[in-house]
A and B are shown apart, each in its own frame.
Chain A
Amino acid sequence: MGHLSMADATLSAQSKPEHATRPSFLRNLLLKNLSAKIAALPMIVTVLVVFVGCSAWSVYYSFTNSGQLPSGKFVGFAQYERLFHTARFIGAAKNLAMYGVMALVFTMVIGFLLAVLMDQKIRFENTFRTILLYPFALSFIVTGLVWQWIMNPNYGIEKVLHDWGFTNLHFDLLNNGNTVIYGLVIAGLWQGTGFVMVLMLAGLRGVDEEIWKAARVDGIPTWRTYLQIVLPMMRGVIVTTLVIVGSGIVRLYDLVVALTQGGPGFASDVPAKYVYDYMFGRANLGQGLAASTVMLVTVAIILIPWAYLEFGPKKNK
């Protein structure tokens, strides 16, 4: 049936009644709504080739000893063994875990608190929202470079503090391996909390006004209403936000490149950067692919419980 031109196909799918002689299952499968199928072809190709195909390809070749080109022979879990014995990768994973826990907790908590603050029937709500959200329109590269300058040990906040006479205070997070992650978190929070705030605010506004009235009638203090009644009701928004923020954290790359380049040493290295360096810098494809597969598994570990909670029970009809 591949010889049908698009125009023919459109015609046969829409105006011509099906040949009543022999209803063919295959024919039906291919030709019913044919123009819709043609229109959806980019999506189908993307799904099959990119999301399924490329991922499967990467996972497969992570079990080979491919160097510069994906031509290596099968070596089982050797790449993974090496990966988990490479100090740089372990460090990168630890850094990401540390960044991830802090960024996740702080963005969620601060985002929620800001949303509550914005929900107090304040004046100039639009102005405040514009201010809190504008960093989210900026790229991680811009974010990283601004904060690199602000945290510059010679000319940045450190110098301001010293000029003001606080010579004991230090704000040199980026050049110290023990504190560089906090620098990343500060920059990341600046960029992302506004976004969480907007989502949380939408969630707060979605709570029925009657709930508030009932709570007020019962004399429950506002903070307890937020914490014990409204927050549990926002489960959907919170879970969605967690998933978005979480999968963003796993991908963390641009911000590191701009703010610290993974340094000092490898103190702020992250898996995404490890993958990039081994794939494109060091021509060690097998290592890069193994590391990327570990990232994929990590995301799956985050996603599968969520998918089960969201979609699982419905499927058990």
Chain B
Amino acid sequence: MAVDTLEPRGMRPRPFFTPRKIIIYSLLFFVSVYYLFPMYVMIVTSLKDLDEVRGGNIFALPVRFTFDPWFKAWNSACTGLYCEGLKVGFFNSVKITVPSVIVSVLIASINGYALVNWRFKGSEVFFVILLFGSFIPYQVMLYPMVIILRELKMFSTLQGVILIHTIFGMPILTLLFRNYFASLPPELFKAARVDGAGFWRIFFQIMVPMSLPIFVVAMILQITGIWNDFLFGVIYAGNQNYPMTVQLNNIVNSTQGVKEYNVNMAATILTGLVPLAVYFISGKWFVRGIAAGAVKG
């Protein structure tokens, strides 16, 4: 395409305030308000004392500004069994998420690498079943997995729930890595083979350093996914390891005592904080991650 023509290119400059633009931007504005107001309501509610929550309306800004609900949510909110606050759940979630992310990403990346560069008889069959497996409702596999974990002496343990996350994260992550590795030039792999490098050496010295973007995408997917998990945590982690989502639900939906809406909202924000932070920091990578996970290559 000729780039350096003298004719003016692109659309004719238009005035900014055309009726069309006014409609578009006002639509976008109202949509944005709809998406933002729950966050706004959460924040203002969490900064009011209980009398003000009961007396005022949910959109009103706090008059008597207080951080007490936040401290209470973190340190001493009751789950129905004990009153040690959300911090217990937070650290449980960290203990579940960090190893789960590392193990699942590592295994899935090796899977993807083997599927692209070291095909063996039946490897594609396994991959297709794996992909279809990701559509099986978890409810079908919940109970047999309980039995398996019990046999492995891993039921109601951190290791157990980590294993579960690794298993159920495998389809989407393997797909992600497989598609990425398939897009790399095959000459790289062949040259390394000719030079005598083996399976692991090629993986760790050539493939991994070349694939950092996809590792970032996979980690973002997994951190948010595992942090937000509720079902696996409630079944496989055991009471003492309940992740933050489960604890949050127990705090807010426990039927005993006075409902402290401000504490509940502070707790809700706290639980959403980690995935939100990942989302805001990662920005476009998050978008790329969900698009890559969804749209098959």
Contact = CB atoms under 8 A, between A and B. Distances in A.
Whether chains A and B associate is yes
Interface of A: 10, 14, 29, 32-33, 35-37, 39-40, 42-44, 46-47, 49-55, 57-59, 70, 114, 117, 120, 122, 126, 128-142, 145-150, 152, 155-157, 159-160, 163, 190, 194-195, 198-199, 202, 236-237, 240-241, 243-244, 247, 250-251, 253-254, 257-258, 261, 271-272, 275-276, 279-280, 285, 288-289, 291-293, 295-296, 299, 303, 307
Interface string B180-212: 000000000000000000111000000000000
Contacts of A50: 133, 141, 145, 167
Interface of B: 24-25, 27-28, 31-32, 34-36, 38-39, 41-42, 45, 53-54, 57-59, 107, 110-111, 113-115, 118-121, 123, 126-127, 129-130, 132-133, 135-145, 147-148, 166-167, 170, 174, 198-200, 224, 227-231, 235, 245, 248-249, 252-253, 261, 264-265, 268, 271-272, 275-276, 278-280, 283-284, 286-287, 290-291, 294-296
Contacts of B253: 257-258, 261
Contact of B291 (A37, A122, A202, A280): A202
B287 A33 contact: no
B46 to A, nearest CB: 10
B120 A36 contact: yes
B57 A159 contact: yes
Contact of A251 (B115, B137, B144, B224): B137
Given A36-B199, A240-B296, A55 B140 contact: yes
Most buried by B among A10, A51, A199, A257: A51
A58 B111 contact: no
Given A139-B275, A253-B231, A43 B294 contact: no
A10 B137 contact: no
Nearest to A194: B35
Nearest to B45: A149
Contacts of A194: 35
B276 A138 contact: yes
B250 to A, nearest CB: 10
A137 B140 contact: no
Given A134-B35, A240-B296, A47 B248 contact: no
A51 B144 contact: no
B38 A190 contact: yes
Contacts, number: 261
Given A55-B141, A149-B41, A288-B143, A139 B126 contact: no
Q: Chain A at the B interface: mostly helix, strand, loop or mixed?
A: helix
Given A33-B118, A46-B130, A50-B133, A289 B143 contact: yes
A275 B136 CA distance: 14
Contacts of B129: 47, 51-52
Nearest to A245: B294
Nearest to A280: B235
Given A128-B28, A149-B58, A247-B135, A49 B110 contact: no
Nearest to A148: B252
Contact of B58 (A126, A130, A157, A285): A157
Contacts of B127: 43
Nearest to B252: A145
Contact of B249 (A29, A258, A271, A288): A258
Given A257-B249, A272-B139, A134 B276 contact: yes
B295 A146 contact: no
